[in-house]
Each structure stands twice: as C-alpha cells, then as structure tokens.
Amino acid sequence: MRNAALSLLLDRGPRAFQPGAFLVVVPRRSGPQRLPCDNLWPMHNIKLTVAYDGTDFRGWQIQPGQPTIQGALTEVVQELTQERLSLQGAGRTDAGVHAWGQVVNFKTHSELAPEEFRRGCNALLPPSIRVREAEEVGPDFHARWMAQAKTYVYSIYRGAVVPPVRWRYVLHVPQELDFAAMAEAARYFEGERDFTSFSASTGSQEEDRDQTMIRCVFRSELIDQAESSGAAPANSICDHLSHREEWIYVVRGTSFLRYMVRKIIGTLLQVGRSRLPAGEIPNLVEKRDRSCSGPTAPPHGLCLQSVEYPDPTASLLGKSRGR
C-alpha cells in the first residue's frame, strides 16, 4: 500500500510539490500496523543501480554532519518505507569520486514495487544522485560481499581548454606525455599482486593490520579516445560527454585498495613525463613500499563504472508479491 503523499509523488512526480510546500507522509494502511520486527510480514531485498556526481559529497560512506551518498540515499529510502534500515554499497567511493554503476541493496517490509522505489527515490533525491535501475533480488544478495569484479574509469583531458561540461569529470593535463610508455606501463598492473606500494592507509591501524593487500587486476588499459574504436566503456557518466581529446584509463579487478587507482594514475603520469621507465613498474610492486608510487591523482577524474555479480543474481523481477 502507498500513503497519500507518496501516491501523489509517484503519480505526478516532484512537481506535485511546489517550493516551500511540506511533504507529509501519513500511513494509510488498514488492519494491524506492521512492525519491522514482525516476522509475519515478508522481507524484500531491493537492489538499486545508482549514478552520481561526487563533487559535492564527502564520499559514499555516512559521516556525521557531512553530505554523503549513502546518507542521502538512506534518508530517502527510509522516508519511502517508513522504516529504519541499512543500505549496503558495493564500493566505498572517496570524496569527489563519481559513479555510473554503484550497486546498493537494502531489506524492507515495504510492499512498494521496485519501479516505485526508482521513481520515488529520483523524485526526492538531489539531481546529482540518480537511481538508474531497481529490482528485487534473492534474500542472500549483498551488494558488497557478492561483487565479483569492479571497473573504474579515470579520464585525462589532453586539450588546451577543458569544455565547461567536462571539468568536473576529468584531470586536465595539457602538457606533453608519452602515451606509448604509459600504455606499456599500464599493462604491468594486470595479474594477482600485492599492491601495498599503490595503496593508502585506511586510517585505522587495526583495519590496516587485518586487510590483505593482494588484489587481482583483470584489465589495466590506457585508451586514446582519438584513436579508440569502441574499446572504452560505453554508457557511463564519463562517456556521454566524452571528448576525442581525452585519454581514458580503464581498470577492472576483484576489488581495490584505498586510493589504489588514483596512485596508479599518478605513477602512469610519472612514466608519461619520462620521470620513470615503464619497465620499472614490476620493481615498484615488489618493493611493497607506499613511498615508491607516484603522487595520488585527484579524485574528480575517477568514476566507478560498473560492478559485476554472479549470473544470474537471483533476481525476483516478474514474480508476484500477491498485490
């Protein structure tokens, strides 16, 4: 069932509420009121695919008093469900990092259909966060722990002047760079390795001590958009306004350490500026010393492109909820 305010929102869209108006959520259920702890009511596991511009946020993870993606989504979903719940994200993107394919899941007793969640979220969220897709999945699905691979894209703008529509999403490097050397160096990051040299501390000594530094990178490739024939990821926040004067770094792996992709970019730029031979990358990896990598590249060029899961992901799309 839907309350009256939510029905108006879903049926007429956000323009149903004029600036300054109050959105009053009044339960309109007949019969006994269900409680989140009432096991007699079915629990639904909802998966969302989310895109966002991370410029104005302090990253994915909730931080008290700070604007975050997880915080904004949690607030909206709780308003729609009238429940206190926890949202799980596939990747904890840092402040300023964008996403086209972040995956989120939450469990709820709400009888709202996935499409209603998508429409309701997009009506209430700021325009910098969009829910692209919503579906119901099996009870065991977990956005973070079931992820098998993630793909990140880093964009470097090579032209003299960055187009105003691109400045939030690219690192501007107009100076001369050796593309061939950088492309060669990028390939050295493929494989299963200890990436300590290309990581940053989590900020917690306990977490640093417990986490493994071994990561498996399936693809590490630098692409020149001017010569690209479709090798770059399509349909991304970095793609629809991309420019032929951009170089795109694509990396796909099981998971990534903190700042790992941005440190790889900083090191590749050192290679491009002839400050580091491409063939030196394996030695840097072997040293397992964080001081050996190049500087950490700025966050705004980075985008979480996609997250992969077992196929199928136990989607319940099309199954009736008895409505």
Domain co-membership, 54 together with 8: yes
Is 25 within a domain?
yes
Domain co-membership, 187 together with 303: yes
Say how far apart CA 144 and CA 146 lie, in whole Å: 6
Place of tokens 């969640």: 117
Other CB atoms within 10 A of residue 163 CB:
12
Parent domain of 83:
4-145
Is 36 within a domain?
yes
pTM of the model: 0.83
Domain co-membership, 93 together with 209: no
Query: Residue 229 pLDDT > 70, yes or no?
Result: no
Who wins on pLDDT, 241 or 46? Answer: 46
C-alpha pair distances (Å), 223 with each of 45, 178, 229, 287, 306: 38, 13, 10, 28, 18
Number of structural domains, the chain? 2
Query: Residue 7 pLDDT > 50, yes or no?
Result: yes
Domain co-membership, 70 together with 8: yes
Is 315 within a domain?
no
The region of weakest confidence among 6-10, 50-54, 258-262 is 6-10
pLDDT (tens digit per residue) in 31-81 = 344 454 555 568 999 999 999 999 999 999 999 999 999 999 999 999 999
Is 320 within a domain?
no
Other CB atoms within 10 A of residue 179 CB:
14
Stretch 225-250: mean pLDDT, rounded?
70
Q: How confident is the model at residue 244 (pLDDT cuts 50, 70, 90)?
A: confident
The whole-number pLDDT of residue 16 equals 45
Mean residue pLDDT across the chain? 85
Is 322 within a domain?
no
- Domain end, chosen from 115, 145, 175, is at 145
Query: Residue 313 pLDDT > 80, yes or no?
Result: no
Q: Kindly give, in sequence order, each residue whose CB lies less than 8 Å from that of residue 252, ignoring residues fewer than 6 positions away.
A: 149, 150, 151, 152, 217, 218, 219
Query: Residue 82 pLDDT > 90, yes or no?
Result: yes
Is 319 within a domain?
no
The whole-number pLDDT of residue 220 equals 98
Say how far apart CA 73 and CA 292 lie, in whole Å: 38
Q: How many helices (H) and strands (E) does the chain have?
A: 7, 10
Under the phi-then-psi rule, with left for phi > 0, alpha for psi from -120 to 50, and beta for the rest, what region is 318? left
Domain co-membership, 113 together with 131: yes
Q: How confident is the model at residue 30 (pLDDT cuts 50, 70, 90)?
A: very low
The whole-number pLDDT of residue 233 equals 60
Stretch 241-263: mean pLDDT, rounded?
90
Query: Residue 190 pLDDT > 90, yes or no?
Result: yes
Q: Cα 183 to the chain's mean position, in Å?
A: 25
The whole-number pLDDT of residue 27 equals 40
Q: Where are the alpha helices (DSSP H) in 125-274?
A: 179-187, 205-210, 260-272
Report the CATH number at residue 268. 3.30.70.660
Place of tokens 């400050």: 275
In the 8-state DSSP scheme, what is residue 103? E
The whole-number pLDDT of residue 203 equals 64
Domain co-membership, 161 together with 226: yes
The whole-number pLDDT of residue 102 equals 97
Which residues are catalytically annotated? Answer: 94
- Domain end, chosen from 117, 145, 173, is at 145
Domain co-membership, 116 together with 235: no
Who wins on pLDDT, 106 or 229? Answer: 106
Is 314 within a domain?
no
Q: How confident is the model at residue 321 (pLDDT cuts 50, 70, 90)?
A: very low
Q: Give the residue among 11, 143, 22, 129 at the shortest CA–CA distance from 76.
A: 129
Domain co-membership, 85 together with 71: yes
The whole-number pLDDT of residue 32 equals 40
Q: How confident is the model at residue 201 (pLDDT cuts 50, 70, 90)?
A: confident
Domain co-membership, 160 together with 292: yes
Say how far apart CA 98 and CA 52 lie, in whole Å: 6
Report the CATH number at residue 63. 3.30.70.580
Is 272 within a domain?
yes
Domain co-membership, 302 together with 159: yes
Domain co-membership, 195 together with 291: yes
- Domain end, chosen from 90, 125, 145, is at 145
The region of weakest confidence among 37-41, 92-96, 261-265 is 37-41
Domain co-membership, 212 together with 298: yes
